[in-house]
Amino acid sequence: MARSRSSHRWLKEHFSDPFVKKAQAEGLRSRAAYKLEELIDRNRLLKKGMSVVDLGAAPGGWCQVLARELGESGRIIAMDILEMPPIAGVTFIHGDFREEEALSRLEAALEGRKVDLVLSDMAPNMSGVEAVDRARAMYLVELARDFADSHLVEGGSLLVKMFQGVGSDAFLLDLRRRYAKVQVKKPSASRKRSPEVYVLATGRKAS
């Protein structure tokens, strides 16, 4: 099947992207690694010995950054609906975060311990119907928030990808009830035309 004009444009943009070229040169699995790098550096998100859960982890760019920064001192548990090649220091669980069975395996890997940081770069497969896609994306954001509610230590942090639009303002308002500080970030590696932003909520309040 011939590629559409939009597919050709995307491929041209992708392979000329300086972050894509940089990731390839540095052995990183995705350009998304630079989004997390910037957010970590600017907000001092990581400390040695932290326990982190990475949702929507494949192909592993964020996990590579986490493993490099935390080394053997940290604990990293990752999950994705797609398979992900192993990364030293990362426990990977292959499963659909929306399903109870996969969530149960993730919770079993935590062994009853709370975590310091929950990351979510989850996004739905896009249908091209904006109203449907935004609703699916917001559902994933809310699932990540609910997981953090149950598994973050008091004072812990949540970093989640969100697509701005219907429901995003209400979500931010809700987060401000749960966390001491909530900020909306647009890393340099996030394409300007994309409606994606990253919401950083720090200082999880006591339940």
**146 among annotated binding-site residues:** no
The three state secondary structure string of 158-176 is EEEEEECCCCHHHHHHHHH
Residue showing tokens 């149960």: 104
CA distance 180 to 177: 8
Identify the burial level of 56 via C-beta atoms within 10 angstroms of its C-beta, where 0-12 means exposed, 13-18 middle and 19 or more buried.
buried
Query: Is 121 labelled a binding residue?
Result: yes
Give the residue numbers annotated as catalytic, written as ranges.
Answer: 161
The answer on whether 17 is annotated among ligand-binding residues is: no
75 vs 53: CA distance, rounded Å: 8
Long-range pairs, 90-96, Cβ under 8 A, ≥24 = 90/60, 90/63, 90/66, 92/57, 92/63
Element (H, E) at 198: strand 196-204
Query: Is 149 annotated as ligand-binding?
Result: no
Q: Which two tokens stand for residue 164?
A: 């701005």
Q: Is 80 annotated as a binding residue?
A: yes
Work out the burial of residue 135: count CB atoms within 10 Å of its CB; fewer than 13 is exposed, 13-18 middle, 19 or more buried. middle
Residues annotated within the binding site for S-adenosyl-L-methionine are 60, 62, 80, 96, 121
